[in-house]
């Protein structure tokens, strides 16, 4: 395997109980330093894939190589080298943030003093210093996720797996979480494999994306490539009344796919709208037609998803596994309180 490949997956498949095909023959590669997004609706097979890649679940067929190691042959070494944040919360609420980290260090066999100093560093890095010595159950959702991120980093992994890391966080919590990830990527060249429901987040954060639906990968590419495959950007040019017809002029510009005229507005479908606009404005002005206004709309990943799966991304969104886990924890908490 070339050394710049962090994760290599070939024909990976998981069939539960001999009948439920959760992951159906998927193949892809993730390069070192890349942030790779795994995008799909509920039940698509995201958590199952993460579980196989992190050596928690045995594949039914196929191969997964993580940091040069086959997850089926060296599961323990894979686990030692990677960091994972699971979809369900894993912090022990009765332990303090610091204790959670020191316990995690112990699990990796990191000696006590080294464990304590790594814990302290991560607490500072994740801005949890004020809360470090109170029980994790008193943390807000965002603080808890930051603690779990710190736990995932205690063994200084080169590859981090995040399963729905920002689910249930408010926009501020989501933005905060991603700024930590961005910094880790820049400072340490961390490779990130992330599953998410949030298309905007994937669009902004991921270098490349795979869209998974019913256990199969239906599209892979950079967010821009995926959107470009939909036939480009929609540019609207509003032109001054009484100007000459510009249909032919606009159609002749490089990258233009179609031009429609409606009242004083030309609706242009084109590749790379951002470079088309200045050229079009200059050409229109030269032809004696003043441009009064311009809008450029890029297709969103929502539209990409619709194109590849025939469904709206949000259409079948019920409570996710995380929502269910949170609900369960709440009920358990209430029951404990009553006892």
Ligand X SMILES: Nc1ncnc2c1ncn2[C@@H]1O[C@H](COP(=O)(O)OP(=O)(O)OP(=O)(O)O)[C@@H](O)[C@H]1O
Size of the site for ligand X (CB under 6 A): 15
Apex 115 CA angle, 173 and 186, nearest 5 = 45
Nearest distance from residue 167's CB to ligand X, in Å?
Answer: 8
Nearest distance from residue 331's CB to Mg ion, in Å?
Answer: 20
Nearest distance from residue 39's CB to ligand X, in Å?
Answer: 10
Q: From the list ligand X, Mg ion, none, pick the one residue 331 interacts with, judged by a Cβ distance below 5 to 8 Å according to partner type.
A: none
Q: From the list ligand X, Mg ion, none, pick the one residue 199 interacts with, judged by a Cβ distance below 5 to 8 Å according to partner type.
A: none
HEC states along 255-273?
Answer: CEEEEEEECCEEEEEECCH
Q: From the list ligand X, Mg ion, none, pick the one residue 48 interacts with, judged by a Cβ distance below 5 to 8 Å according to partner type.
A: ligand X
CA 305 from centroid of its chain's CA atoms: 14
Question: Contact letters (x/-) for Mg ion, 230-269, by CB under 5 A?
Answer: ----------------------------------------
Burial of 260 (0-12, 13-18, 19+ CB in 10 A): exposed
Question: What CA dihedral angle connects 166, 201, 171 and 156, to 10 degrees?
Answer: 40
Q: From the list ligand X, Mg ion, none, pick the one residue 296 interacts with, judged by a Cβ distance below 5 to 8 Å according to partner type.
A: none
Residue 111 phi/psi, 5-degree rounding, is -60, 155
CA distance 274 to 60: 46
40 binds ligand X (CB under 6 A): yes
Question: Contact letters (x/-) for ligand X, 73-112, by CB under 6 A?
Answer: --------------x-------------------------
Burial of 248 (0-12, 13-18, 19+ CB in 10 A): exposed
From 85-93, 205-213, 295-303, 325-333, span contacting Mg ion (CB under 5 A): 85-93
CA distance 272 to 281: 15
Residue carrying structure tokens 């929609």: 234
37 binds ligand X (CB under 6 A): no
Nearest distance from residue 223's CB to ligand X, in Å?
Answer: 20
CA distance 30 to 38: 11
Q: From the list Mg ion, ligand X, none, pick the one residue 108 interacts with, judged by a Cβ distance below 5 to 8 Å according to partner type.
A: none
20 binds ligand X (CB under 6 A): yes
Written as six digits, the tokens of 223 are 């967010």
Which residues bind to ligand X, rule: CB under 6 A?
16-17, 20, 22, 40, 42-48, 87, 320-321
Which residues bind to Mg ion, rule: CB under 5 A?
46-47, 87, 321
């Amino acid at each position: 395997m070339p050394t710049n490949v962090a994760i290599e997956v070939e024909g990976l498949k998981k069939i539960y109980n001999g009948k439920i095909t959760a992951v159906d023959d998927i193949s892809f590669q993730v390069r070192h330093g890349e942030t790779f997004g795994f995008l799909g609706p509920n039940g698509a097979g995201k958590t199952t894939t993460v579980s196989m890649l992190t050596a928690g679940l045995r594949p039914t067929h196929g191969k997964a190589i993580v940091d040069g190691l086959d997850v089926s042959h060296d599961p323990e070494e894979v686990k030692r080298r990677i960091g994972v944040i699971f979809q369900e919360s894993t912090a022990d609420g009765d332990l303090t943030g610091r204790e959670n980290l020191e316990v995690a260090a112990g699990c990796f066999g990191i000696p006590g003093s080294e464990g304590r100093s790594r814990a302290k560093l991560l607490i500072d890095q994740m801005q949890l210093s004020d809360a470090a010595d109170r029980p994790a159950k008193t943390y807000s959702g965002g603080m808890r996720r930051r603690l779990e991120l710190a736990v995932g980093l205690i063994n200084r992994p080169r590859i981090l797996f995040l399963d729905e890391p920002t689910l249930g966080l408010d926009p501020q919590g989501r933005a905060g979480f991603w700024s930590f990830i961005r910094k880790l990527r820049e400072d340490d060249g961390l490779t990130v494999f992330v599953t998410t429901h949030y298309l905007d987040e994937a669009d902004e954060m991921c270098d490349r994306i795979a869209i998974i639906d019913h256990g199969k990968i239906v599209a892979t590419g950079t967010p821009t490539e995926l959107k470009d495959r939909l036939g480009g950007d929609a540019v609207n040019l509003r032109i001054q009344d009484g100007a000459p017809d510009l249909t032919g002029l606009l159609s002749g510009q490089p990258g233009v796919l179609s031009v429609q005229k409606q009242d004083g507005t030309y609706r242009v479908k084109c590749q790379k709208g951002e470079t088309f606009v200045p050229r079009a404005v200059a050409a229109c002005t030269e032809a004696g037609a003043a441009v009064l206004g311009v809008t450029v709309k890029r297709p969103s990943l929502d539209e990409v998803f619709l194109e590849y799966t025939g469904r709206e991304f949000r259409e079948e969104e019920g409570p996710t596994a995380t929502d269910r886990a949170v609900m369960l924890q709440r009920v358990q908490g209430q029951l404990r309180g009553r006892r």
